[in-house]
Chain A
Amino acid sequence: MSDSWNKNSIPKSRTIIFGALVTMLFLGYLGHLFSLQIVDGYLYSVRAENVKRRSTIIPAMRGEIFDRHYTVPLATNTNSFAVEINPALIARGEHRRVFEDTAALLGISVQEIERKIPQSVYHVYQQIEIRPAVPFETIVCLAENIHDYPGVSWVTKPVRTYPEAQVTAHLLGYVGDITPDELQVLYNRGYTARSVLGKSGIEQQYDELLQGQEGRSIRTVDAVGRRVADHNVQIVPPEPGHNLVLTVDRRIQQLAHDALGERIGSVVVLKPGTGEILAMVSYPSFDPNQLYGSGAASHFSRLRNDARAPFLNRAIQSSYPPASTFKILLTTAVLEEGLISTDDTLFAGPHYRLGNRIVNEWRPSGFGRINVLQALANSSNVFFATIGHDYLGTERLLSYTSEFGFGIQSGIDLPGERPGLVPTPEWKRRVFNSPWVGGDTVNVAIGQGFLSVTPLQLANMVALLVNDGVLYRPHVLKEVRDGHTGEVIERTQPEIIQTLSLKPQTSHAVRRAMRGVVRGGTAEPVITTPVVEVAGKTGTAEIGSQTDDWHSWFAAYGPYETQDPDEQVVVVVMVDAANDWEWWAPKAANLIFHGIFADLDFEETVADLRQRRRLWYM
């Protein structure tokens, strides 16, 4: 063997130093490991645990809304399909294609999906909702071709549905996703960015009762968010929202809706003895079911841009001159003040003249000498202009107007109620910078001019007279019931909001006068129902001066006299001047009264009245 090999020249010192370096690094690493695993070990094990526990929201079922009979809901939740995409399940580079196909299937734009799933979340294992309320046929189509849609799936999702659609739309309102502005306001009350909340009506008014409590399931997930077989699943069950029972009677609501028909206007039906709203209808209406899911946005903007304002609940959110219906108030005031008695007569000529303000009698010849009952029955403008200006005077007239609840909100449990307007000398000076004149008093007396009232306020006026001066707060909520058990949690108690110390004979006389309107007065031709004695007052409000457009009012109650105050109902119908003139308000009220007291629906009411040959106008 050759010995040309160099002898090992590695210095011993260098071997030792090398070895020392190696050992030092080992000790250094071990020191670090010691601090990681033993000193801070607890910290890391908590962190390792926390990272892997993830809570998922279990949405709470929104409470259902029932009518007063608590049978079939007016607002409920049905399952619909929402399509979701989990971007982490799509292979790299496939996202664009899957988005395009999905968008084509759902009939939406690719941009909409890309906005919800930006590139930065492509690796996140999370279901992202692309579209709620997808039709069943689309889901079938998706299911059949599911292999072409990696990462795409669907879930059933409760969607708010309103079986009565347009009929109850204004009353119940509708729900929608929370907006950033709303979240700012509601954040501290437990709302989250996922909240669906009521946007109007009962849904908005009692949203917190309907919401319920979200549940949570806390479980271990792996790094990509997949659930891991885990025995340590904590579930905080969701608490369903409370069910609401309304004072509304589904049958009367439907009846009122049909009786009003396709005429811009509104109907209020309430129980004077408690203030319970039995029906509240406004036309034009909208279908709240279409305000969610596909096409919702365009439907919404179409409604928004409709000049007839379908979202407006005309029963409480718009006010009009009360016209002749206001004569009920004057009758009450003048009798209560004892300025005239029911036997006293006044001369009601063709005109009432005050300075350059001339009030014409609607019958050109005038009525001659008539008492207050005849004046109300015939709706004499001259008589009540005289009463208002010459007998009551501005101060007393306005005082009664306020005491009857005009010019302020009644406090009904619906959002957006308008107060209407009662003009006063101070108000006129402030707004028009001109003094109050006698003509202004005359205008108030005949329910014209600046005076404007909501249909609900008019119903309250009638209710107050029916109750001999007591007015209950009108309300829509009857009971709050537990979402699980149906147990009554809270029941709305009638609340008196106004007590006028009327002499019993005053309200009695006014009611007699109102009955006179129907028996032998202006309303006699149209209030044809034989099943109930109706007492009320018509009203025809001029808008503008020379047009043929009039608002048509009818404010009434029935039965006229009763042993059982519970059966009495107040009906106020208001038909807007925008409709062709057909004096529809009392006609609609006639149908409503007949339907309520004969216990018939609209078609049956019409058929029944026709059969009795009492429906000449249809």
Chain B
Amino acid sequence: MRSRSIFAFDVYILCATLALLTVGILFVYSSGLGSGGEPLSREYVRQIIWAVSGLIILVCLSFVQYKSLRPWVPYVYVAGLVLILFTLLFGRVVNGTRAWLGVGILGIQPSEFMKIAAIMVFAVYLERAGANIQRIPYLAAGSVLFLIPMAMILMQPDFGTASVFFPIYLGMCYMAGARVRHLVFVGASALLILVFTMLPAWEIYIHGSRIPAFAVFSNPRIKLLVLAGLGAVALVAMVGLLMLKRGYFYWIAYAMSILALSLGASLGARAAIRDYQLMRLVVFMNPYVDPRGAGWNVIQSVTAVGSGGIAGKGFLQGTQSHYQYLPEQSTDFIFSILAEEWGFAGTLLIFGLFLVILLRGLYIAGNARDSFAGFMASGIVAMIFTHFAVNVGMAIGVMPVAGVPLFLVSYGGSSMWTALAGIGILMSIYQHRYRY
């Protein structure tokens, strides 16, 4: 048994983190400049404060034996839920979302920290479940741990933050050894719910004329009939499977259940989803449906990114951002500014730094001393990855607009602390990967 100094940080992750923080502060500064180069906001000062305080959290967590966190996990989780509930009742409304707690300029978003809490509690659950995670009831029961915070965050309503929980759940289950077919079932259903909800809007806004077959999605009666049909086929297939034990019955039932489930759920989703959220999905498909409204962000962001070219317009020289064409530029669209001012070279740098953190994180997960640590590391990697994929995808127009920040780069204390806490835990796992 080798012994190592607890000061042996994972240099790769640490360097990448520091680099990303620096880039983030630079572009939060850039985004705060007005058209004449005059500073319009002092967000970058606060960003520095949060980065420094976050780094302290990171260092502290990396020293802490992650094992000693474990007894606290249920309490942290419950405390997190209570905090979100409290936010839901008494929180401050910012941009139409009741997601903030706090006074004055110091506000926190408990929903951000909740991701870490959920990852930790689910890691405990997965460890307890062990190989049982391959069985559907265990998989389903575990999802409750995610569904509760997701539902509460959806009520704020913050679709973007809530949606991040879903890939974390899938990623952690996958790493814990859940059956791929189960995960594909869940993932495909979720995707189809989204698609089925969007299709009627697609028909109206983009295709422009009615397609008779689409009555399935818009006419509730036909929808119920189709649903009943699908359910019946699935049921017959299941009966066939039980009696004849033929493999293809399983896959028929599998496919039919996905279809029936998503169709049924899309019925409820359309009722729950708000019009502006639907419009976001529509403009994701074609931003020019509403170029000055919901499509504005996407168009301006893609224009900013595209106009950056190879080397960019130069730091602080971006026009899309400084002329206020980009909304939410220090948070949701910080990547667009970076891509505009530093061009393809800058995006390569950011991609590289994130890739280092993610792959290194997976390495840490694979080499963790125990399952709890491995699952936790997997969850943290999944979280950072999801944020990256959604935020950058949104900036380049391949993902719908959802208010998901780019970890370490976007302006914001809560997401900064969440990211740095997550990385701190990764560090701790790395440093304590050997048994003493």
Contacts and interface: CB of A to CB of B under 8 A. Distances in A.
A11 interface: yes
Interface residues of A, number: 44
Contacts of A23: 355, 359
Given A10-B175, A22-B358, A32-B396, A41 B369 contact: no
Contacts of B36: 228-229
A35 B392 CA distance: 15
Given A10-B375, A29-B393, A38-B309, 8 more contacts: A6-B127, A8-B369, A19-B359, A34-B344, A36-B306, A40-B306, A45-B307, A52-B323
The interface centre, meaning the residue of A8, A49, A220, A221 with most chain B CB atoms within 10 A of its CB, is A8
B174 A14 contact: yes
Nearest to B131: A9
Given A5-B369, A18-B171, A23-B355, A10 B307 contact: no
Interface in A505-543: none
Interface string B295-327: 000001011111111100000000110111100
A223 B171 CA distance: 40
A1 B370 contact: no
Interface stretch (B41-49, B280-288, B360-368): B360-368
Interface string A37-56: 11011111101110110000
A223 B310 contact: no
Nearest to B398: A32
A571 B310 CA distance: 82
Nearest to B369: A8
Nearest to B174: A14
B344 A19 contact: no
B161 interface: no
B306 A43 contact: yes
Interface in B369-421: 369-375, 378, 381, 385, 389, 392-393, 396, 398
B130 interface: yes
A41 B310 contact: yes
Interface string A219-241: 01111101011000000000000
A40 B307 CA distance: 8
A329 to B, nearest CB: 71
A224 B369 CA distance: 56
Contacts of A226: 35
Interface of B: 35-36, 67, 127, 130-131, 171, 174-177, 300, 302-310, 319-320, 322-325, 339, 343-344, 347-348, 351, 354-355, 358-359, 362-363, 365-375, 378, 381, 385, 389, 392-393, 396, 398, 436
Nearest to A8: B374
Contacts of B325: 51-52, 222-223
Contact of A10 (B176, B320, B344): B176
A43 B127 CA distance: 53
A15 interface: yes
B304 A5 contact: no
Given A15-B175, A19-B362, A45-B306, A37 B344 contact: yes
B347 A15 contact: no
Nearest to B384: A22
A10 B365 contact: yes
B373 A8 contact: yes
A49 B325 CA distance: 12
A222 B35 contact: yes
Contact of A44 (B171, B303, B373): B303
Contacts of B373: 8
A91 interface: no
A14 B372 CA distance: 16
A5 B370 contact: yes
A7 B371 contact: yes
A30 interface: yes
A122 to B, nearest CB: 12
Contact of A29 (B304, B358, B374, B392): B392
A52 B303 CA distance: 12
Contacts of B375: 10
A189 interface: no
B155 to A, nearest CB: 25
Contacts of A33: 305, 339, 344, 347, 396
- Identify the 6 closest CB pairs spanning chains A and B, nearest first: A44-B306, A222-B323, A15-B366, A45-B307, A41-B309, A48-B307
The A interface, classified by DSSP as helix, strand, loop or mixed, is helix
B130 A37 contact: no
A8 B371 CA distance: 4
Given A9-B374, A228-B36, A229-B35, A37 B366 contact: no
Contacts of B354: 26
A89 B358 CA distance: 46
B370 A6 contact: yes
Contacts of A7: 370-371
A12 interface: yes
Contacts of A43: 306
Given A22-B358, A23-B355, A44-B306, A223 B344 contact: no
A49 B306 CA distance: 12
Contacts of B320: 48
Contacts of B348: 30
A618 interface: no
The interface centre, meaning the residue of A48, A222, A229 with most chain B CB atoms within 10 A of its CB, is A48
Contacts of B372: 5-6
A489 interface: no
A45 B371 contact: no
Contacts of B35: 222, 226, 228-229
B302 to A, nearest CB: 7
A25 interface: yes
Contact of B351 (A8, A29, A223): A29
Contacts of A8: 366-371, 373-374
A9 B355 contact: no
A5 B368 CA distance: 12
B257 to A, nearest CB: 25
B306 A14 contact: no
Nearest to B327: A223
Contacts of B362: 15, 18-19, 22
The interface centre, meaning the residue of A33, A38, A228 with most chain B CB atoms within 10 A of its CB, is A33
